[in-house]
């Protein structure tokens, strides 16, 4: 097992997956990593909807995202044909839900890297999920009552690799 710092340093967004599905063990590990994430006031309000990559709801989401962005025939769908997508929703009235969902997704992304899997954190469907079809998508994804989309993540076995992003600590960090 790697240490946390090594996993953080290795992780990058995966934009290409094999057709190999996740095993039940891999999926359970990823879900438990998300469920173990801290939440404000320990509300544990994050709900995880798991979809296979061929789920028709994902096709509908892709079409709505493309319509809203005036995209015609993009080269890939928003989850880069990953075999598994997890959509996180949360209580729409709780002020900290978006932050809590982000923490859960990062836990899951790091767990995926530790397992040798790829992941892609997804925000680009936000307009589709919160637009005129919000209720339709919420129902299709079986969100609990008064829950709404916060963020999503795709998982699969890597077909491509990418170096982790670089950064400029001198420009991005201020010491006082």
Which pLDDT tens digit goes with each residue over 91-139?
999 999 999 999 999 999 999 999 999 999 999 999 999 999 999 999 9
Q: Do the beta carbons of residue 39 and residue 96 sit within 8 Å?
A: yes
pTM (2 d.p.):
0.96
Instruction: Classify residue 85 by burial, with Cβ atoms within 10 Å: 0-12, 13-18, 19+.
Output: buried
Kindly list the structural domains of the chain, giving each domain's residue range(s) and its CATH number in brackets, ordered by start.
4-157 (3.40.109.10)
The DSSP bridge partners found for residue 89 are: 47, 149
Helix (H, G, I), strand (E, B) or coil at 170: helix
Number of residues in the chain: 176
Range 158-175 average pLDDT: 94
């Amino acid at each position: 097992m790697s240490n946390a710092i090594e996993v953080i340093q290795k992780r990058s967004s995966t934009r290409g997956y094999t057709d190999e599905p996740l095993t039940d063990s891999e999926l359970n590990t990823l879900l438990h990593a998300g469920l173990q994430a801290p939440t404000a006031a320990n509300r544990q309000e994050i709900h995880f909807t798991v979809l296979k990559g061929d789920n028709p709801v994902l096709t509908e989401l892709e079409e709505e995202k493309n319509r809203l962005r005036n995209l015609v025939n993009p080269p890939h769908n928003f989850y880069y044909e990953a075999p598994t997508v997890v959509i996180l929703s949360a209580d729409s009235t709780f002020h900290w839900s978006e932050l809590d969902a982000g923490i859960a997704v990062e836990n899951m992304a790091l767990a995926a890297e530790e397992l040798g899997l790829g992941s892609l954190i997804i925000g680009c469907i936000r307009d589709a999920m919160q637009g005129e079809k919000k209720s339709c998508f919420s129902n299709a994804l079986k969100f609990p009552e008064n829950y709404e989309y916060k963020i999503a993540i795709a998982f699969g076995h890597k077909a491509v690799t990418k170096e982790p992003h670089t950064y400029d600590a001198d420009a991005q960090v201020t010491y006082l």
